Amino acid sequence: MKNEIIIFTDGASKGNPGPGAFGAVIVMPEEKVIEIGGFEKNTTNNRMELSGALAALDKVTKKEEEVTIYTDSKYLINGMTAWIYGWQKNGWKTKEKKDVLNKDLWEKLAQLVSGKKIKWHYVGGHVGIAGNERCDEIADALATGQKVVFYHGPLSDYRINILDLGHNDVKKETKSNKNTKAYSYLSLVDGKLHIDKTWSECEKRVKGKKGVKYQKAISQYHEEEIKSNWGVNE
C-alpha cells in the first residue's frame, strides 16, 4: 500500500429529497484507517454520493499519492470519468444549455482531483463488500439521526476486513430485497440487553411491551454501534 490511499464511500437520502448523509472509510498509506460522515437536513441520494467522495478526497493532501475509490454510485463514476470533461468544456452546461445538476459539487470535485492519480471503481451495493457495507451503515445511521462511533486508528485494529473486495453470495443474490440480511436483532427490555439471531425470537421478547427498544444489526460493528447509541456497555 505504499503511497496508495484506498477510499470507500456511500451516500443516502431518506425521501430523496429528505434528510440524508454520507459515509466514507479511508485507508491511508501508513496503514491508518479514518472513518468520516456528514449529515444534511434536506438533500438527495446523488448529492450525498458526491459529498462523500468530496469529503474523502479532501483528506488527500499529496498529489504524488495514488488514490483508488470504490463506490456503488454509477452517477459518481460516470460523472468523474466521462461526463465531466464535456461539462467543463461547455461551461458546466448540458446539451440543452442548462446548468448541470449538482454543479456546485461537481466543480469542487474537479478541483480536488486535478493533478492527482485517481482510479474509480464500481462495487455493487448490499452484496457484502466490507467497505461498502460499513459506509452504508454510517450513512444510514446519520440520515436517521443516530449516533455513529467513528473509527480512527491502525488498520491492524480495525474490526472490518476493509481490503477484502469479495462479495457475499447470499447478499448478492438478494440485493434487490429491501430487507438486508440481519447479523442479529438487539432489544432492550426493562433495561436489559438481549441479542437474538432471528426476528421471531426478538419479536416474542418485545411484542406487547411498553418502553422497549429493538433494532436490526447488519454487522458486528453495527451491533456495537447500536449498543453505544443505547448506552449499553455489556
Task: For residue 147, tell me if it sits in a domain.
Answer: yes
Report strand pairing: 213-217 vs 184-189.
antiparallel
pLDDT, one tens digit per residue, over 166-221 is 654 434 433 433 456 788 999 999 889 999 999 999 999 998 888 888 888 887 77
Average per-residue pLDDT for the chain: 87
Work out whether strand 4-13 and strand 66-71 pair parallel, antiparallel, or are unpaired: parallel
CA dihedral 69, 74, 78, 79 (to 10 degrees): -80
Whether residue 176 is contained in a domain is answered as no
What is the extent of the structural domain holding 29? 4-171
> Each residue of 25-61: pLDDT tens digit?
999 998 999 999 999 999 999 999 999 999 999 988 8
148/218 same-domain check: no
23 and 112 assigned to the same domain:
yes
Look at residues 171, 195, 210 and tell me which one is the last residue of a structural domain.
171
Q: Return the residue matching grid coordinates 467522495.
A: 53
DSSP letters for the chain: -TTEEEEEEEEEESSSSEEEEEEEEEE-TTSEEEEEEEEEEEE-HHHHHHHHHHHHHTT---TTSEEEEEES-HHHHHIIIIIHHHHHHTTSB-TTSPBPTTHHHHHHHHHHHTT-EEEEEE--TTS--HHHHHHHHHHHHHHTT------EEEGGG-SS-TT--PPPHHHHHTTTSSSPPPSEEEEEETTEEEEESSHHHHHHHHTT-SS-EEEEESSHHHHHHHHHHHT---
Residue 68 domain flag: yes
Residues 39 and 69 in one domain: yes
- pLDDT at res. 174: 36
pLDDT value of residue 112: 93
Q: Are residues 189 and 166 in the same domain?
A: no
- The tally of domains found in the chain comes to 2
By annotation, the residues acting in catalysis are 10-11, 49, 72, 126, 136
Q: Residue 135 domain-assigned?
A: yes
- The candidate with the shortest Cα–Cα distance to 166, out of 140, 132, 217, 134, is 132
The lowest-confidence range among 113-122, 131-140, 188-197, 211-220 is 211-220
More confident residue, 119 or 234: 119
| pLDDT band for position 233 (cuts 50, 70, 90) | low
Q: Which residues pair with 10 in a beta bridge?
A: 23
- List, for residues 144-172, the tens digit of each pLDDT value: 999 999 999 999 999 888 988 765 443 44
Mean pLDDT of 124-147: 88
- Whether pTM > 0.75 for this model: the answer is no
Q: Which three cell numbers stand for residue 101?
A: 445538476
Q: Tell me, yes or no, whether 163 and 199 share the same domain.
A: no
Query: 25 and 63: one domain?
Result: yes
